[in-house]
Each structure stands twice: as structure tokens, then as C-alpha cells.
Chain A
Amino acid sequence: MKAKAFWTSTPGARIFGILATLVVIGLVETAIRTGLINAFIVPLPSQVALAIPRIVAEESVLHRFWQTTQEIFAASLLLVVVGVGSGMLLYRFLALRLACETWVGALAAAPVVLMYPLFLVIFGRSATTIIMIGFAAGLAPVVLKTLEGLVGVRPVLINVGRAFKLTRAQQFRLVLLPAALPSVFVGMRLGLIFAMINIVGVEFLINFGGLGQLINELAERYDLPGTYAAICFVILVSIVFYVMTGKFERWLRPHQ
């Protein structure tokens, strides 16, 4: 019983996660060394680990990491302002919602990254193009989940606001938005994931910017350990943003 309690506790779960990752890495290492996985396609995890200090020293990976982080941060800000704002507008104006909701849903399924030539024409081969594609890719889930959250607010909470004679702005700020936050955060997390994937993807495609460009260059040099080491940094960016969003959510919703 004690062992079960430990593994289901937070430190126990963390240790279990680390151990499970190490076991998987060990299995991959063994599979490559025994020839089950082709070493020309997948490098040894031990080689990837050794490549990390090299790409830090030689490929200015930290600078590129910072560049990608900035792009993701800019896209996230746009997603919060425009995405959440658009969700609010769709909630507020029924005609707009009826006219646009399906189109926004369609945007969620669209491979926005394939439109990169259009963005290149509009914004040039610059960080703005990368940010805008990331933003466009992450927009739909933020808008839709914000709308879903607002529509799903329990009517009794709205009636409480009405009973206290709240103005429309107060009703939005004090009742609707806080009540919709759980859904808004789900949308923001999804939007952020889509934005991150597309930002690194476009950096790779247009060979510009941060980690995506580095992965492109290392892959073209057939430096597989270096490529995978750079991918580890992309995962690190993802972890940083995931943790940041979680902390932001806990700050805004301490009751959770």
C-alpha cells in the first residue's frame, strides 16, 4: 500500500516518468546497437547526448533557442489578444457567430503551413512571416474554445450577475470570462502547440530563424546526432511554454 501511495504521489510520478524515459532511451540504444534499428537513420541516443555540448559551442544553439522562444512568445501574445478577443466577439454577436463559426472550424483543420509562400510574399523572408504562420495555425482552437467556454457558462451565474445589476462590461469581466477560463486555457494550450509546431516547421522550410533552421542545416550536413540534439532543444522550448502556461493558469485560477 505504501509503495502504491508513493508512485501515485507527485514526486513518485516524476521519478517514474524519468525512469520510464531512461528505459525507453536504453531500449532504443540497445535496438540500434543490435541492428534492429538502422544506425544510418536513427543515431545512438548516447551520440545525441554527446552532440549537445557540440551544437551549443559550434552552432550557437542557445541563440537560436532564444530566437524560436521569442517567435513563439510573440505568436502566443497574438493568440491571446486576437484569439480570445475574436471568441468574445463571436459570443457577443450571434449573427457573426452563425456566419463565421464553421469557417473558423474549417481553419482548424487547414494545413496553414502550406500557405507559407503567400506569407513570404506578404511579410518577406523574416521572423514576421514565421510568427504570423504560427499565429494563423493556432488561432482556430483559441477562438473556438473561448466561444465554447462563454456559451457554456451556467445560466444561473449569468442570472446572479443580472440580479446584482451588473453592466455588460462587468458581466463580461466578473462573471463570463472567469467562468469560461477553463475552456479558454484548453484553447490556448492547443493553439500554442499548433503555433510551436508550425513555427519550427516554417523555420525549417524557409531556412530562416532559430531551431528549425538549425535542424535544416544539420540535416543537410547529414549530422544526425546534431539534428536530434537540436530536436531535443525544440522539446525543451515546448516544455518551457507548457510549464509557463500551467503557472499562468494556476495564478489566474488558484481554486483549481
Chain B
Amino acid sequence: MTPTDANASAGTTGTVNSGTGTESLLRVEGLHKRFVTRDGPVTAVEDMSFIVAPGEFVSIIGPSGCGKSTVFNIIGGLLGDYAGRVTVAGETISGTHPAIGMVFQEESTFPWRTVIENVAFPLEIAGLAKAERLEQAAHFVQLVGLHGFDRRYPSELSGGMRQRVAIARTLASRPRILLMDEPFAALDEQTRLLLGDKVLQIQQELKQTTLLITHNLTEAVQLSDRVLVMTYRPGRLKRVVDIDLPHPRDSEVVSSDAFGHYVAEIWHDLREEASRGIQDAESQALRRSTAR
């Protein structure tokens, strides 16, 4: 099944940027992943297809438990044993790939390294001389707005600053695709909005192709060119929403009518899925307590 078919079958109303002839950097085709759990097999992701064009910022949004992180782990190469195909610039990938840089939801900086040493980590792996890697790392530290904190340890930074270090570290490996899994989930709303500005600024400066996994509506609309809405289990693509808000964009956009319209539109689709998720979680809890 092609991405177009998948989106069409999911009742897509937004403009689908996945047709034949569209230039794609990342292509996900017919993704299907099933887990075996104590309660039996669970299909986490079913027949999911989409593409991401070069320089595009795409978000995948869905309720908790819909398989967003499974998609993240499969594309990032951390999860195997799935059906379907993931290609980067036409090359089918299996396992981790240098073209894909990952930023994780959990705090992932190395506490024993300073900010600059954290950011220089991928350059150290690449075998760059110390002076050169520190010079390059300094550029990325500056890019995420942490100039002056180079010699600080993560324990001396706030949660938002630590996530910026993680982003800078991933960017330092110069990935073609930046893959982020709810990187601001642990932060408060104000910090999240301001960090969103920083991410947008970086994305626009580097023309960085970015795929963001999130469950935050505001974040998805604020940052994205397109939002892919997922269904609750099994995770399928329900709808694609093109975000036609002007660029360059910043957090001021959240006060515009158009922004509110997009949030309402996505929430309309998401509400039903989120309700299913809650009902499912409640019935599972009930089944477990009855079984005891």
C-alpha cells in the first residue's frame, strides 16, 4: 500500500504530501508492528505510511498508547522485527542509521560530561581531533543558545537547558533527519513554548528535516508544516493536516485565530481516539483487578 492509499483510506481531508513524484527524504511504507504481551498479542502500529520531504517539519500526534514511540523506535532503528519499509533518500534502512539523529523524551545527557563534551560526543566517535571537535561543538552549543554554559555539567542546568544540550548533541552528528520523541514532555508549558521557538529557529537556520513525535496539540501546530494524526490502538494514520501558518514562525502564533482553528480541528479527531484510550486503560485495569 502506498502512502497515498493509506492516507486516503484513513479518510484524509488535509493535503497529502505523499503522492508519486513528491521528493521525499524519509519514506515509511506499510509499517506494522505487533508485540506479544501477557494479555496476548497487541498490534501497536498497523499499515502506517507517510513521507517527509527535505526541510519539512512533520509531527505525529496521537493519544497515549497509540504507538507513537513505536514508530519513533522503528524509524530510529532501535526496534526491529516489524513489517513494512523505512527508506532514507531511497535507501532502505534497518537498524540505526547515521542519517537519522534521535532526541529522546527522557533526560539523555551524559551527567559525567560537560555541556561541550556532551555536544562533542558524536564528533569524538567520528574520530575528529579534540581541537576540531570542540570548535564544532561550540558552534552547536551557541546554536541552541547555551553559550557561556560550555563547561557546566548537566546537573547544573535546568531541564529545558539539558534538552537543548541533547538537541545540540544530535545536531552535531549532522543528521539529515532529526527525529524527536516528545523532547519537551517533562517541561512546563511556558518553557515548552519558548523552546519551541528555539527549535523553529534552528530548523529554519539549518533547513533541518524534522519528525516530531508528540501528544501536545499546541506544540504540534506551533512547530509543524504537517501534522499526522494517529488513531488509538492499533496505531494507524487517521488524518493529515497541513499547517498553513506563516514562516518564520514563533510562539506568538499561538494567539492567532488560525492557530486556534488548527488546534480545534486536530482535537476534533483526537478526542475520539483519546476517549478510546482512556476507556481501554480503564477496562484493562478492571480486568486485572477481577483476575486477582
**Distance A164 CA – B122 CA, assembled complex (angstroms):** 7
Asked if B102 and A157 make an inter-chain contact with CB atoms under 8 angstroms apart, the answer reads no
**Distance A178 CA – B78 CA, assembled complex (angstroms):** 22
CB proximity of B214 to chain A, nearest CB, Å:
17
CB proximity of A88 to chain B, nearest CB, Å:
18
Q: B91-133 interface mask toward A, CB cutoff 8 Å, 1 = contact, 0 = none?
A: 0000010101110101110111010000001101100000000
Asked if B104 and A160 make an inter-chain contact with CB atoms under 8 angstroms apart, the answer reads yes
* A186 at the binding interface (Cβ < 8 Å): no
Asked if A162 and B96 make an inter-chain contact with CB atoms under 8 angstroms apart, the answer reads yes
Asked if B78 and A162 make an inter-chain contact with CB atoms under 8 angstroms apart, the answer reads yes
* A95 at the binding interface (Cβ < 8 Å): no
Task: Chain B residues near A156: list those with CB within 8 A.
Answer: 104, 106-108
Chain A 145-165 residues near chain B, CB threshold 8 A? 154, 156-157, 159-160, 162-165
**Distance A254 CA – B113 CA, assembled complex (angstroms):** 9
With A162-B78, A164-B122, A164-B173 already in contact, the answer to whether A157 and B108 are too (CB < 8 A) is yes
Chain B facing A: main interface SS? loop
CB proximity of B182 to chain A, nearest CB, Å:
12
* A253 at the binding interface (Cβ < 8 Å): yes
Task: Chain A residues near B102: list those with CB within 8 A.
Answer: 159-160, 163
CB proximity of B176 to chain A, nearest CB, Å:
14
With A154-B106, A164-B122, A166-B125 already in contact, the answer to whether A255 and B111 are too (CB < 8 A) is yes
Asked if A165 and B104 make an inter-chain contact with CB atoms under 8 angstroms apart, the answer reads no
Asked if A163 and B76 make an inter-chain contact with CB atoms under 8 angstroms apart, the answer reads yes
Asked if A253 and B78 make an inter-chain contact with CB atoms under 8 angstroms apart, the answer reads no
Q: Which residue of B lies closest to A181 (CB)?
A: B112
* A170 at the binding interface (Cβ < 8 Å): yes
CB proximity of B107 to chain A, nearest CB, Å:
7
CB proximity of B100 to chain A, nearest CB, Å:
8
Chain A facing B: main interface SS? helix
Asked if A163 and B101 make an inter-chain contact with CB atoms under 8 angstroms apart, the answer reads yes
Task: Chain B residues near A175: list those with CB within 8 A.
Answer: 110
Task: Chain B residues near A159: list those with CB within 8 A.
Answer: 78, 102, 104, 108
CB proximity of A155 to chain B, nearest CB, Å:
8
Q: B224-264 interface mask toward A, CB cutoff 8 Å, 1 = contact, 0 = none?
A: 00000000000000000000000000000000000000000
**Distance A157 CA – B112 CA, assembled complex (angstroms):** 12
Asked if A160 and B112 make an inter-chain contact with CB atoms under 8 angstroms apart, the answer reads no
* B267 at the binding interface (Cβ < 8 Å): no
Task: Chain B residues near A160: list those with CB within 8 A.
Answer: 102, 104, 108, 110
Asked if A255 and B96 make an inter-chain contact with CB atoms under 8 angstroms apart, the answer reads no
Asked if A253 and B104 make an inter-chain contact with CB atoms under 8 angstroms apart, the answer reads no
Task: Chain A residues near B98: list those with CB within 8 A.
Answer: 165
Q: Which residue of B lies closest to A253 (CB)?
A: B112
Give me 19 other A-B pairs in contact (C-beta within 8 A), A163-B170, A174-B121, A178-B112 excluded.
A154-B106, A156-B107, A159-B78, A160-B102, A160-B108, A160-B110, A163-B96, A163-B100, A163-B101, A174-B124, A174-B125, A175-B110, A179-B112, A181-B112, A254-B153, A255-B112, A255-B114, A255-B153, A255-B154
Q: Can you name 5 A-B pairs with beta carbons within 8 Å?
A: A159-B104, A163-B96, A170-B125, A179-B110, A255-B154
Chain A interface (Cβ < 8 Å from any Cβ of B): 154, 156-157, 159-160, 162-166, 170, 174-175, 178-179, 181, 253-255
Chain B interface (Cβ < 8 Å from any Cβ of A): 76-78, 96, 98, 100-102, 104, 106-108, 110-112, 114, 121-122, 124-125, 153-155, 170, 173
Interface pairs A-B: 8 shortest CB-CB: A255-B153, A156-B106, A163-B102, A178-B112, A156-B108, A156-B104, A160-B108, A165-B96
